[in-house]
Amino acid sequence: MKNELVTRLRALGHDVEDVGTFSPESTDYPDYAAAVAGRVSTGEAERGVLVCSTGVGMSIAANKVQGIRAAMAMSDEEVVLSRTHNNINVLTLGASLTDQESANRWTEIFLREGFDGGRHERRVNKIAALEAKHGSTRP
C-alpha cells in the first residue's frame, strides 16, 4: 500500500520522502511513526502519511510526538473533518482494513483539505495546551 501511495503521490506532483520500510520483513512501527512525525514536528515536512496493518499503532505512536495531531482514516467524511476541524498533520492508514482505492482517495483528501480555523482553532489550541501541560511522550 505504501509503495503504491508513494508512486501515486509523486505522479500527482507531490514531493514525497519515503522513510521506509523497504523490506517485507516485520519491523517495529513506532520507529517509522517517530521518523515521520519527527519530520512533521520540526517542519521538515508539512504533513505525513503512515501505513501499518491497522493504522492504530501508528496513530498512537505518532501522537506521542510534540505538535502532532494524527488520525486514522476510515471514511471520506472522517478525513475531511479531521483536517478541517482538527487540523491533523499526520494521516494513518490500515493496510489490512483498507483497499488501495480508498487509501489513495483518503490521502488525496488529507493533502487537499485545509483547516477551517474559527471555533476549531480554539479547540486545537486547547489540545496543544494539554500537550504542553501533560507532555505528549507520557504513556
Distance of alpha carbon 74 from alpha carbon 94, whole angstroms: 9
46 lies in some domain: yes
Residues designated catalytic: 52, 85
What does pTM read for this prediction?
Answer: 0.93
100 lies in some domain: yes
139 lies in some domain: no
Mean pLDDT, 10 residues at a time, the chain of 139 residues: 96 95 91 97 97 95 96 97 98 96 98 95 93 70
pLDDT of residue 77: 98
Q: ∠ at Cα 36 (97, 133), nearest 5°?
A: 100
CATH code, domain carrying 65: 3.40.1400.10
125 lies in some domain: yes
pLDDT of residue 121: 95
Cβ contacts of 124 within 8 Å, gap of 6 or more = 69, 86, 87, 115
| Owning domain of residue 93 | 2-134
